Amino acid sequence: MQGESTGYPDVAAHPAGDAHVAVADPHLPPATQPVRGVVWAFHMLVPLLALWLLLAYAERLNIAWEHPVSHFALIVGIAGVNVVLGLMISRAAARRDDARLLLVSLVFLTCAGFFLLHGLATPTIILARGSYGFDIGQPVGLLMASALAFTSSLPLGERAARAVIARADLLRAGLVVVLVLWGCASLVEGLTPLSAPPPKGGATIGALSWAGAALFGVAALQMFRIHRRRPSAMLVSLVTAYALLSESMIAGFFRPNWLLTWWEWHLLLTMAFAFVAYSAYIQFRREGSSHGLFDSVALAATVRRIQAQYDEALEELVGHLRRMGERGADDAPLATRLAGKFRLSEGQAAVLDRAGQALAAERELSLRLGALVDVGRQARVGLREEDLLRDALERVRQAYGDVRLGLVHEGRVEIGGRSFGAGDFAGGEPVAAGGAVMHPLTVKGVLAGVLKVPVGTTRQDDALAATLASQLSIALENARLYRELETLFRQYMSPDVAASLLADPRQAALGGSLVELTALFADLKGFTSFSEKVSPGEIVEMLNRYHTAAVPCVLRHGGTIVQFVGDALLALFNAPAGQERHAEMAARAGLAMQAAAERIAAGNPGYPRFRIGINTGMALVGNIGSPELRGFNAMGDAVNVAARFEALAEPGTVVIGATTREQIGDAAKVRPLGPLALKGKEHSVEAYVLTALD
């Protein structure tokens, strides 16, 4: 998995080429940081400065040095470097199926071919004297290479890239044909004018040198733009090479043979290709393989495809290592397969294997921590014990594997074919048994169950399993305590009051606050005379039947029952829990209570009948009593008036106050009772018999 050391953080998922590569985190690469940028620019300007000095002081500095053997050795050496680079990049292009890499490889192969022919045309090597082909062969080759370099720097779209790849063999064959024809024309004496002596003063390709310089310059700028988005050493070397080749084309315009300007031109060519070769060598040394040396030069679509392959390989590696851990055996050497797929060295495969194991362990740790968090979230008050344990085990098995849980029955726990008791867990320590670890689950310090967890592979696994057992113990204890609360505590007070106390125990403190509420009073008309005629058992049965029917009506409409007093009950709406439309909800609860009571009374003609009074107003709500014994209640004129309405109501009716009717609005169907003089009230009070609610 080579070539990714520079990374591709900014590649967006666009189908076209590099023009659509988005910059996720814009930054300047090292080559364009202020100090390094100055040094890099200095290196680029020095050759041009040297050319200017040689031309400006031509008589004193631009001296001639004719040495054909040195020239031949230099040119053949450059050609050899180009052949190696061209073939390596060509292999990368075929492997990645990438058009840009193909074009860049043709740049180097074109230079290699024409450089070799230029070297063979050196005087005294094959031909006895100079030739026209010797003078223009190298500039012509560079001109062709500049066109390929310019094309390689373009943001090729998918269609253009496919067209280039489809013609790869044709392009290579065409290059070979051109080189063969040029070689025959320039090396076979008397065959063509190219093998003839050059004109007096030397041969040049004139303005075409400047065209080549411009094409190389534009290619360098385009590659630099790619480097800004996708920093890499190979792109820096390619930018430098294109820039130096552009300068060499400029120097070639002022190049009478064998003068220092002519030699400088050759030196620039050497430096250009040496930069690329040196960068490839350094990256090869760092990564130990040539498989991905030139990936950073590829088109954006190729980079995305490479990233997808690496992501898939990593996922495959992690999945394999996880399965390997579950099976306890390595029956498929995945690291070896990946090493073959990505051409990794043996040492790299070993590093990949260790990195994969570390990644798998990290991922497994994250999954197990996530399972612990989810178990803690599920262990909330209100879940049935069976549902809690089922949901917790389902989540835990996703992270821990084959986890089993057994609960105590008659002092023992049967799990995994073995029986465990409290004596098997001395000091609460887990017990190893058959490739698994048994962790005790306790409730109030007493053994309540056993959790069976597979033996872990890392040092964190034992601690995580112990934490899981503690979490499940807490959840189990909470579920059982809540069940006791449901059985005892909630049967003696309203669920809203109980829930409020559980959420905030400070609400049990003595004191209260003034709030608007709707109070509902209900009692049984004729209860005293009924009690004188029947036995105590029948009285209790009658009360329980009525209250069993009435209480759900109150709770269903959000009311809170704060007290039963004999045959009477008091319910509050909008206290302690806030409630919108509390007056309407109280009225609906009253009508529902009467309907339920009528069904009971219809089957028992001697039973007394409910009468209900409802009133809305301000009241003091809170805990009233002493530090030793207290109760939740409401006091105030609004509550007292509701009690007076209840006393005035006829059996089977619901009487409401003016404020209650006003808050309900037109939905209330009422029959006015007129102004009523109530005990303890200086002024009369309006009241209504509620007959229905829309």
- Beta bridge partners, 414, equal 419
So what's the pLDDT on residue 21?
39
In a domain, 251, yes or no: yes
Whether residues 100 and 165 share a domain: the answer is yes
Whether residues 203 and 333 share a domain: the answer is no
Whether residues 337 and 411 share a domain: the answer is no
Amino acid letter for position 31: A
In a domain, 510, yes or no: yes
In a domain, 466, yes or no: yes
Phi, psi angles (nearest 5°) of residue 221 = -65, -40
- Beta bridge partners, 221, equal none
So what's the pLDDT on residue 491?
53
Q: Report the CATH number that the domain containing residue 634 is assigned in CATH.
A: 3.30.70.1230
Whether residues 423 and 438 share a domain: the answer is yes
Its sign, for the CA torsion 514, 515, 516, 520, is negative
So what's the pLDDT on residue 473?
77
CB atoms within 10 A of CB 681: 13
So what's the pLDDT on residue 607?
93
Whether residues 180 and 266 share a domain: the answer is yes
The set of residues, in sequence order, having a beta carbon less than 8 Å from that of 471 and lying 6+ positions away, is 372, 375, 376, 379
Cα(588)–Cα(131) distance, rounded to whole angstroms?
113
In a domain, 493, yes or no: no
The set of residues, in sequence order, having a beta carbon less than 8 Å from that of 328 and lying 6+ positions away, is none
Helices 233-253 and 207-229 sit at what angle, rounded to 10 degrees?
170
Whether residues 294 and 309 share a domain: the answer is no
So what's the pLDDT on residue 53?
44
Cα(689)–Cα(653) distance, rounded to whole angstroms?
7
So what's the pLDDT on residue 687?
96
What does the block give as tokens for 451?
């959790």
Helix (H) or strand (E) holding 46: helix 34-56
Whether residues 224 and 316 share a domain: the answer is no
Helix (H) or strand (E) holding 294: none
In a domain, 99, yes or no: yes
- Beta carbons of 294 and 234 less than 8 angstroms apart: yes
In the listed set 367, 391, 419, which residue is the last one of a domain according to the structure?
A: 367
Look-up: residue for tokens 């393989």? Answer: 289
In a domain, 52, yes or no: no
Whether residues 666 and 573 share a domain: the answer is yes
Whether residues 124 and 159 share a domain: the answer is yes
Cα(593)–Cα(587) distance, rounded to whole angstroms?
10
Between strands 568-573 and 431-433, the pairing is: unpaired
Whether residues 655 and 614 share a domain: the answer is yes
Whether residues 423 and 572 share a domain: the answer is no
What are the average pLDDT values for consecutive 10-residue runs of the chain, which has 694 residues? 37 39 40 48 52 46 61 76 82 84 88 78 68 71 85 86 88 89 78 70 61 84 82 78 74 55 62 68 62 73 76 66 52 56 56 62 65 65 69 73 81 83 82 82 84 73 77 77 64 58 61 89 92 91 92 91 88 88 96 95 90 96 76 88 94 96 95 89 91 92
Domain count of the fold of the chain: 4
In the listed set 251, 266, 298, which residue is the last one of a domain according to the structure?
A: 298
In a domain, 428, yes or no: yes
In a domain, 647, yes or no: yes
Report which of 519, 507, 512, 515 is spatially closest to residue 619, judged by C-alpha positions.
515
Whether residues 547 and 432 share a domain: the answer is no
In the listed set 269, 298, 327, which residue is the last one of a domain according to the structure?
A: 298
Q: Report the CATH number that the domain containing residue 191 is assigned in CATH.
A: 1.20.1070
So what's the pLDDT on residue 194?
73
- Beta carbons of 419 and 409 less than 8 angstroms apart: no
Provide the residue range defining the domain that includes 438.
Answer: 379-487
The set of residues, in sequence order, having a beta carbon less than 8 Å from that of 663 and lying 6+ positions away, is 581, 583, 584, 616
